Structure 1
Amino acid sequence: MQLTSPQNRGRDALSHQTKRLILASGTSPTPEEERILKLAHWMGVETERVSIDQESALARLGEGGGQRCCLAMSADTLALTHRVSSNSLEKLVKERCAELLVFGCGDPRLHSRALSWVTSGAISGVNVAAQGQKVCELPRGGRGFSRQLAGLSFSTGHALSAPTFDRAINGASANAIMITNGQPAFIRLALPSVEMFLLAGAGVPDIDEPLSPGSGLEAYYDRLIPILIFLRHSFGKTCWHGPVSTARFIIDDPLLTEKYGFLNYRALLSSMERERYGTSVAFIPWNYRRTSTRTASRLFGGRPDLSICVHGCDHSNKEFDSADQAFLESRAGLALERMERHEARTGLPFERVMVFPQGRFSSRSMLALRTAGYLAAVDSNCFPTDEESGPLRIGDFLRPAITRLHGFPLFQRRYPRRLMDAAFDLFLGRPALLGEHHEYFRGGCQKVEEFVSGLRNVEPTLTWPTLSAQLTRSCIMRAVS
């Protein structure tokens, strides 16, 4: 047996007091096994890899007392150890494992027998459906594991074959945490000696894989979410998590008048009071002389649930899509100067948070915002028009804010169209920031109220602080002892 550890090579995994994810693999880890270790480490989980090359290795891993371990192995490794070391594997699972994850289940011929054996017949095998649209659901009954995601569904938009599990009619109870095309794809079994999780399908994503505006994190939900659920459940507060759940609705462009297009401020204020949510208006600094002092006082009047932030400078095309640092700093500075004049004239404070017009900005614009003294940027598009700071990667979107661009925090917001995306942000400990324009209110405030109600259903503790308050406090934390 060979033990390797990214944090502490040579130490026995089972003797360490801190709970770790132990990956059992062959002599050399496969790319998918390496990816699952990287993802676990990125989420704050200490990891070990155990190379099993003979039957005695399993026996040695199963020896000793103390804390029970969290073990992960691919379905290929499970099938191999079942064939050559079934007695030692059974002893390990029954006596030393608190949780066991078997991932990459997808070959009916190779995996079915081992799965049936390790689950005591609760799972009879694997079924691979023909290629087609892949629709994934997270049943409400799995809320104890999937948290804010329970009761929601999504489609990755890919036409792929989708392995799922065949459950024995009279087998032990198996709780489906994720269902694909009506069949269980991610299962939890509470066996007498171990809590077992089985994941069908291959392709654990690499956290260093580049993303693009046309291929965002949403395309990886089906492969990311099950692993994240397993890590959050198995490692609790020692896994990175957010301390609070917050949200904010942001409306781009409107003047601060009684009505702006389809937006009626009076109706919005009544809706906010009734449904208990908060809104920020992304105000164009060029309009700083167009606000009536009386109207500003009447509409805003020191209300924490309605505030304004900065939306560009002139709101001209590509005004922050430039490589000219001096020009960008002048735009960022002028925007703040105008907002300060607006505050001095109307008495209406503003939040030093930038929402870029048309979602277009260069990497260097983040440096300009930092130099000018902005708190953060928020945008529906998080991809700069250049790659001066390198491409954004999967791991960047698993943090509350993207900081790859000159170290300045960029928070992602969503259009309020798919509840799944906002719930995923809350699951990760990110603020659920929503963005729209006045056209969204063509039929009044009903659509935003329905979305707010949906968010409250997935996260009953949700609060709606000002942008400055929640972005300043936005963080992830983990227990270290």
Structure 2
Amino acid sequence: MDTGSSIALLLRSDDTPSPDDCNLSEILEFFGIPWMALTVSEANEGNVASLMASHQQFSVLTSASCLAKALRPCKAGTFPAWLAAATSVFVYGFQAADRGRALLRQITGDPDAEIDGIEARPTTVFVTDAFPDMCGPMSALRIQLEPGAADAALVIRDDGELQSILGAPEGHLFVGFANAGVRFFADASLAMVDICERAATYFDVKKRFAGAVPVVMYLKWSFRAVCWTTSETNACLIIDDPPLWPRYGCLDFGELLRLADKQTFATTVAFIPWNWRRTNRDTVAAFRRNSGKLSVCVHGCDHTRGEFSARSADLLDRRLKTARRRMKSLLNETALDHENVMVFPQGAFSPEAASALKRNGFFAAVNTEVAPADDASNETTLADLWSVAIVRYGGFSIYTRRYIHHGIENFAFDGILGKPCFVAGHHDIFRDHGSELAEFLQQLASLRWKLCWRTLGDAVCRSYGIRPDDGTITVKMFAEQLRIENGEAMARRIRVVKEEPQVVSLKNVTVNQEVVAHEYMDGCLRVIVDIPPGRTADIRCVYHEQPDAFPDSEAVSYRLGVAARRYLSELRDNYGHLFRFGV
């Protein structure tokens, strides 16, 4: 098996690069794929000779219109030498006009090939099970797309050599074939997605399939030897709100543990610090005994509406320090430690909250909402949603999570992108003894990926990007703590890089609690780490913290309101069939 292409040739017109050219180049940059632009004139003048002479593997990415121009000098049934030398050719943007139809017929050899527009109607996508190296966890899925999610289909005669990768009743959305020794991959998408566009909500392949899923599949497969990748997909079930009682609403911790034993998954409770005094001794003991399956992280402070969408640094610091004091009290009273990961109440956060978490000792946040709340400026882009974590705000990592109703196809696409698999829920996810959850966990287990269930803190620390780079492995760090193992028989040198816009707040970098040298270049921290065989490196960024001197000065009326909210919420969750509080 070949190891994939090492460089992308982006074929474009002789004029100014088109919006799709720019969008595709941004996607290449996002995945860390080396690329160079090649105009149609340069290609036809033989300016690819030096690349071919170097024996460097390359693949060509092009719109149908550009490829049509490049093939004009060719005789029927032949292709230029530079195209034949490519490992593969990715073509998109087949317009349903004479020129697009003519190109499709030329490269497929099917004189009756057609292009069917399907933008205005829903359709069903069938992902092949015969190409797992490309389709990965999406293999064999059947996906119901909403109108507009796919815009065209290619209708091509199957002569036995055609490989339908993404099929639909209307035709092929993504298909592979060979002609005259050239291996083509034809994407029916009319345009490439702009990953720099602002995003106010999570990415949904049922709504944004064309220009996204086919090209991601292709790039991650064709350039697997050089692009950012992951060695495993870390997973965790995150349950918001429940106190540490034997039973809360539909959640029975004994039943949860039995299900975890049966289906092998890990759960982290997003624990409200206000509840630290209100724990059950036996339940806490069960958490301690099952530390690899059960853990708690921090879920706000008082869990009031929008408490971390505040813009005041002082107010955020006070709330975080109160939360940390309460979690420390929980540790002192019960010997149950917590993970320094924040799950925002109601998903609401401000850009300032990310910086406050960093300077208050948290190493990541996990959230369902992807954009700041209220009047805060939204800087989140599609690229942020495709990344392992959003680092847009203060360089602090906000990992995204999904609910079951987002659909297995979105979890699978996240897996192709290299994102962790974080499943969100409340107590009602265990309705009917967790039957819906158990079914969904079985679906996750059936996907073609290396799924590793861990408690949330461990999963976050082990979720990173990795790629070879000049003989050294480069690791892209996201959370403020990175845990990486060396399972090889010899020492392993890695170069750790981490985006850090607030380097002045950095105190030091440690490896296994020892301070190490680091450098700062182009907005990134860089650290060289040697890991002995069979050992684990625990790498942490330590920041200057604000003095712990904020008094707990909330008014009595506020405290009473918080208590009332919590008790009413518990009545709603435990006796919802009798009470209907809009809390």
Q: TM-score, normalised by structure 2?
A: 0.75
Distance 1:356 1:55, change over 3 A: closer
Shift of 1:124: 2.2
Q: Which moved more, 1:177-186 or 1:155-164?
A: 155-164
Q: CA RMSD in A?
A: 2.5
Which amino acid in 1 is paired with 2:177? L
| Separation (CA, whole Å) in 1 of partners of 2:75 and 2:293 | 61
Confirm or deny: 8 A CA contact 1:258 1:266 kept in the other structure.
yes
For the residue of structure 2 that corresponds to 1:469, the secondary structure is: helix
Q: Tell me the equivalent position of 2:437.
A: 448
| Separation (CA, whole Å) in 1 of partners of 2:204 and 2:219 | 22
Which amino acid in 2 is paired with 1:416? I
* 1:201 maps onto 2:189 in alignment: yes
Q: Which moved more, 1:338-347 or 1:131-140?
A: 131-140
Percent identity over paired residues: 26
Match 1:256 to one of 226, 230, 244: 244
Q: Tell me the equivalent position of 1:420.
A: 409
Q: What does 1:115-126 correspond to in 2, within 5 Å?
A: 115-121=104-110, 124-126=113-115
Per-residue displacement from partner, 1:251-286 (whole Å, max 9, x unpaired)?
111111111111111111000001000001111100
For the residue of structure 2 that corresponds to 1:373, the secondary structure is: coil
Confirm or deny: 8 A CA contact 2:125 2:166 kept in the other structure.
yes
Shift of 1:144: 2.7
Q: Tell me the equivalent position of 2:7.
A: 20
Confirm or deny: 8 A CA contact 1:308 1:351 kept in the other structure.
yes
Match 1:339 to one of 316, 323, 327: 327
| Separation (CA, whole Å) in 2 of partners of 1:116 and 1:88 | 11
* 1:464 maps onto 2:431 in alignment: no
Confirm or deny: 8 A CA contact 2:388 2:463 kept in the other structure.
yes
Q: What does 1:77-476 correspond to in 2, within 5 Å?
A: 77-86=66-75, 90-92=79-81, 95-121=84-110, 124-129=113-118, 131-155=120-144, 157-159=146-148, 162-169=151-158, 171-191=159-179, 193-213=181-201, 219-385=207-373, 390-417=378-405, 418-459=407-448, 461-476=450-465
Shift of 1:222: 2.9
Distance 1:369 1:160, change over 3 A: closer
For the residue of structure 2 that corresponds to 1:141, the secondary structure is: coil
Distance 1:471 1:385, change over 3 A: same
Which amino acid in 2 is paired with 1:141? A
Distance 1:395 1:122, change over 3 A: farther
Per-residue displacement from partner, 1:410-453 (whole Å, max 9, x unpaired)?
00000022111211221111110011011121211221111111
| Separation (CA, whole Å) in 1 of partners of 2:119 and 2:250 | 47
Q: What does 1:23-38 correspond to in 2, within 5 Å?
A: 23-28=10-15, 29-38=17-26
| Separation (CA, whole Å) in 2 of partners of 1:334 and 1:204 | 47
Confirm or deny: 8 A CA contact 1:380 1:413 kept in the other structure.
yes
Confirm or deny: 8 A CA contact 2:299 2:344 kept in the other structure.
yes
Which amino acid in 1 is paired with 2:468? A
| Separation (CA, whole Å) in 1 of partners of 2:62 and 2:417 | 24
| Separation (CA, whole Å) in 1 of partners of 2:362 and 2:88 | 45
| Separation (CA, whole Å) in 2 of partners of 1:340 and 1:123 | 71
Q: Which of structures 1 and 2 has the larger relative contact order (alpha carbons within 8 angstroms, sep 6+)? A: 1
Distance 1:62 1:93, change over 3 A: same
Distance 1:373 1:400, change over 3 A: same
Shift of 1:385: 1.2
| Separation (CA, whole Å) in 1 of partners of 2:376 and 2:118 | 43
Per-residue displacement from partner, 1:357-399 (whole Å, max 9, x unpaired)?
1111111111111111012110111211157565201111121
Distance 1:89 1:61, change over 3 A: farther
Which amino acid in 1 is paired with 2:136? R
For the residue of structure 2 that corresponds to 1:314, the secondary structure is: coil
Q: Tell me the equivalent position of 1:11.
A: none
Q: Which moved more, 1:365-374 or 1:114-123?
A: 114-123
Distance 1:382 1:286, change over 3 A: same
Which amino acid in 1 is paired with 2:48? L
Q: Which moved more, 1:390-399 or 1:150-159?
A: 150-159
For the residue of structure 1 that corresponds to 2:358, the secondary structure is: helix
Distance 1:192 1:458, change over 3 A: farther
Match 1:75 to one of 64, 68, 73: 64
Shift of 1:55: 8.0
| Separation (CA, whole Å) in 1 of partners of 2:330 and 2:153 | 59
| Separation (CA, whole Å) in 2 of partners of 1:209 and 1:153 | 28
For the residue of structure 1 that corresponds to 2:404, the secondary structure is: coil
Confirm or deny: 8 A CA contact 1:162 1:180 kept in the other structure.
no
Confirm or deny: 8 A CA contact 1:62 1:88 kept in the other structure.
no
Confirm or deny: 8 A CA contact 1:20 1:47 kept in the other structure.
yes
Which amino acid in 2 is paired with 1:47? W
Shift of 1:93: 5.7
Distance 1:220 1:293, change over 3 A: same
Which amino acid in 1 is paired with 2:443? G
Distance 1:22 1:88, change over 3 A: farther
Confirm or deny: 8 A CA contact 1:75 1:105 kept in the other structure.
yes
For the residue of structure 2 that corresponds to 1:90, the secondary structure is: coil
Distance 1:407 1:344, change over 3 A: same
Which amino acid in 1 is paired with 2:441? V
Q: Structure 1: any 5+ residue segments left out of the alignment? A: 1-17
Q: TM-score, normalised by structure 1?
A: 0.90
Per-residue displacement from partner, 1:299-352 (whole Å, max 9, x unpaired)?
542431111111111111111121111011111111111011011111111111
Which amino acid in 1 is paired with 2:187? L
Which amino acid in 1 is paired with 2:372? P
Which amino acid in 2 is paired with 1:102? V
| Separation (CA, whole Å) in 2 of partners of 1:404 and 1:328 | 19
Q: Structure 2: any 5+ residue segments left out of the alignment? A: 471-583
For the residue of structure 1 that corresponds to 2:262, the secondary structure is: helix
For the residue of structure 1 that corresponds to 2:225, the secondary structure is: helix
Misfit runs of 4+, over 6 Å: 214-218
| Separation (CA, whole Å) in 2 of partners of 1:313 and 1:387 | 22
Q: Which moved more, 1:421-430 or 1:272-281?
A: 421-430
Shift of 1:70: 0.8
Distance 1:360 1:474, change over 3 A: same
| Separation (CA, whole Å) in 1 of partners of 2:363 and 2:43 | 57
Q: Which moved more, 1:389-398 or 1:323-332?
A: 389-398
| Separation (CA, whole Å) in 1 of partners of 2:311 and 2:212 | 35
Distance 1:22 1:276, change over 3 A: same
| Separation (CA, whole Å) in 1 of partners of 2:449 and 2:26 | 32
